[in-house]
Amino acid sequence: MEALPDMKNNIKNIAIIGLGLIGGSLAKALKEKNYYITGITRSEETIKLALNEKAIDKGFTVLDSASLNDVDLIVLAVPLLLIKQYIKKIAEIVKHEIILTDVGSTKSDICKIANDVLPANIIFIGGHPMAGTENAGFKSSTDNLFKDAAWVLTPFGKENNEALNKLKDLIKQIGAIPVTVSPEKHDLAVALISHIPLLISSALCSLVKDHQDKELNTLSLLLASSGFRDISRIAGGNPELSRDLITSNLNNIEKLIPLYTSTLNGLLTMGKSSSQDLIKILKETSDWRNDIYNPEGKNKNLLIKN
């Protein structure tokens, strides 16, 4: 077994590959804490903008060993389906000791690839910040995007507690809350809390949009209130990103959809057979839901513990 790299030095120089909403916001948040930031993106215009806004200290349009010189940490903030090929590229060009992380929304496949292809000098720990807005791109980035957001870290294979602790420390510095879990558990949890919601919101929009009675379709739009606006919001997201989320987590989604439709049919059956049972379950669900988003609620403490 090769010796693990010496991680006693603190992280100072950070390269962020991809300067969209997440990469750009991370650059801005880290600059606030006086890290030295190298931004790498294909768009010269974005680099100019980022330099101008002092979100990065230097920028490159090409990823090569020169652009990663003296870097202690690389953050891959490129689109989900590109992360694997960037890991392979970094495996080829980085020869010094370094920590590598990413911000991809699913983790199992990425962590497996990283474990397979990375040499011992590159410690990979997968990451997933639970933050975002309806807007994309550097122009939407902000230094407080990660404030109070959970930031998942998924150590896998060649673990290194020192590197993990350094990442946790960095995440805390920008106001986010590190949560450490296995890649598999992460992917199942995001299927439940993020990808199933995306699908059920999209399916609802399809149902209304494509209803065969066109008069009803129009009338429904007339009557759509804030409830429909909220439940359909996720369906209004970027379709490429939505597709990437779904196709990269199909195994988990496929397990959950039958459980979901069975729960839905259960509510309907209850409505038909017992108004008392229905109100009981609706009350439990309503209380549970409101407690999550109640700053005084018992579930809110979950985040503070981490």
108 touches its own copies (CB under 8 A): no
Q: Which of residues 216-235 bind its own copies (CB under 8 A)?
A: 216, 218-235
Q: Which of 6, 45, 215, 296 binds its own copies (CB under 8 A)?
A: 215
Tokens of 305: 């513990």
Alpha-carbon torsion (143, 145, 148, 154), positive or negative:
negative
Cβ nearer to its own copies, comparing 90 with 253: 253
Q: Output the smallest distance, CB 45 to its own copies, in A.
A: 25
Q: How are strands ordered across the β-sheet holding 126-129?
A: 126-129, 150-154, 177-180
Burial 11-37 (b: 16+ CB within 10 A, else e): bebbbbbbbbbbbbbbbbbbbeeebbb
List of residues 6+ apart from 124 with CB closer than 8 A: 87, 99, 100, 101, 111, 114, 115, 118, 156, 158
Q: Which of residues 118-157 bind its own copies (CB under 8 A)?
A: 130-132, 149-150, 152
174 touches its own copies (CB under 8 A): no
Candidates 17-25, 48-56, 61-69, 264-272; binding stretch for its own copies (CB under 8 A)? 264-272
180 touches its own copies (CB under 8 A): no
> x/- string (CB under 8 A) for its own copies, residues 273-302?
--x--xx-xxxxxx-xxx-xx-----x--x
79 touches its own copies (CB under 8 A): no
Candidates 5-13, 135-143, 165-173, 203-211; binding stretch for its own copies (CB under 8 A)? 203-211
Candidates 17-25, 117-125, 157-165, 247-255; binding stretch for its own copies (CB under 8 A)? 247-255
Pairing of strands 126-129, 150-154: antiparallel
Please state, in angstroms and rounded to a whole number, the distance separating the CA atoms of residues 185 and 78. Answer: 23
246 touches its own copies (CB under 8 A): yes
